[in-house]
Amino acid sequence: MDFNHIFKSKLLRLNAFFAFFFFFFTVNAIANEESGSIQQIVTNDTEIQNSPQENEEKFDIKSFIFHHIGDANEFTFWGHGESWKGLYLPIILWTDNGLTVFSSKKFQHDDEGKVIVSEKGNHFVRNHGKIYYASSDVPESGLSYETNEKGESVIANSKPLNFSITKNIFTILLSCTILTFLFLSVASSYRKREGKAPKGFQSLVEPIIIFVRDDIAKPNLGYKYERYMPYLLTVFFFIWFNNMFGLVPFFPGGANVTGNIAVTFVLATITLLITTFSGNKYYWAHIFKPQVPWWLYPLMVPVEILGMFTKPFALMIRLFANITAGHILVLSLLGLIFVFNSVAIAPVSLAFAVFIGLIELLVAFIQAFIFTILSALFIGLAIEEH
């Protein structure tokens, strides 16, 4: 397959423009969030000359990165503290008193278990994105701690069942809605223009659909490819769309959907289930009766059974790790500006961030392609004839 057209200069310039566009807004968003601390640094010369250890205490880049790539109950538009502007998402809990629903606004942006929210006779606190029942014996914080077997201090509070709409869930619902609307319109265009040249959005997605069919499905699935095309197209566009959405640093983008291991776990599990239930007699014979001397069965059969699960496990980890690593790398480069408390580092930091952003635009597509082609490969191995 020829990929030369992907690297034409016009497309590279377009990718570079979007990469710079995305990260220009990313820098602005980060600058707005950290504006309070930056103003203090600028107005106090002694704080600028603090030791590296003190600067690190003022700006914890590790917490900053994990805050941005993690899930949350709010969508931040801009600002920090009293100047914060964003969208509060609903908290949906199943408690001892039944279903409880309220706005995340009631937590007042607290994520350290200090603000106690009372609803329907229950009291809740939030700590690092997790919601607990508040402790009655610790009224000042709402959290109680105990020491586990490793000697570590852990939260002892129990948790209600949490079905809240978070950033990732909101983005998944939004992406599914958009993709459903777009592809229903494409299907309608195919029906109305049968035998004619594609037009409009149909002409944009048809080359990608043909690419998935001819370069992913047919080589790996053979003549049975049509049965699995709906799944392959769905998983390809879902991953690609959310990867691109995650690179947009302003609402409704910015959610790290495919960088959430729970999401990649579900996608890999679906591939595992399709592979397992599609397996023919030759597939199961290869696992439980491999063509090796009988005395190797005690070794080979467990290995083959383990291989059934290591393949989707690799799918899950590969997508999660690559997307998360890209976000961490970009945020680390941008965070250098605030770590060094110097505008002089900004041009170098931004230049590297734009370069990585350009790569991330390609990675967004490549990771969708890899997940889809490996899924097709695993399914193909299960349905392969003798």
Q: What is the pLDDT of residues 331-386, one digit of tens each?
A: 888 888 878 877 788 888 888 888 888 888 899 999 999 999 999 999 999 988 86
Q: Is-contact 256 70, C-beta < 8 A? A: yes
Residue 198 CA, distance from chain mean position: 33
Q: Could you read off the pLDDT of 229-276 as tens digits, one per residue?
A: 999 999 999 999 999 988 887 787 778 899 899 999 999 999 999 999
Nearest to 51 by CA among 343, 340, 348: 340
Question: The tokens of 178 are what?
Answer: 């958009």
Rounded mean pLDDT of 37-50? 38
pTM greater than the 0.85 cutoff: no
In the prediction, which pLDDT does 216 show? 93
Alpha carbons within 13 angstroms on the beta-carbon side of residue 300 total 13
Cβ atoms 311, 378 nearer than 8 A? yes
Q: What share of the chain is helix, strand, coil (3-state, %, to 5)?
A: 65, 10, 25
SS3 259: coil
Backbone angles phi, psi at 160, to 5 degrees: -75, 165
DSSP-assigned letter for residue 187 = H
Token pair for 382: 């299960």
Do residues 323 and 255 make contact, with C-beta atoms less than 8 angstroms apart? no
Across 38-42, 104-108, 128-132, 175-179, which has the greatest mean pLDDT?
175-179
Query: Token digits for 345?
Result: 């580092």
Where are the chain's structural domains? Answer: 90-162, 167-383
Q: Which residues contact 332 (CB under 8 A, 6 or more apart)?
A: 61, 65
| Terminal CA-CA length for the chain | 28
* Alpha-helical runs (H) found in 102-198: 167-192
Cβ-based neighbours of 259, under 8 Å, separated by 6 or more: 69, 246, 320, 323, 324, 327
Crossing angle (nearest 10°) for helices 346-383 and 261-278: 20
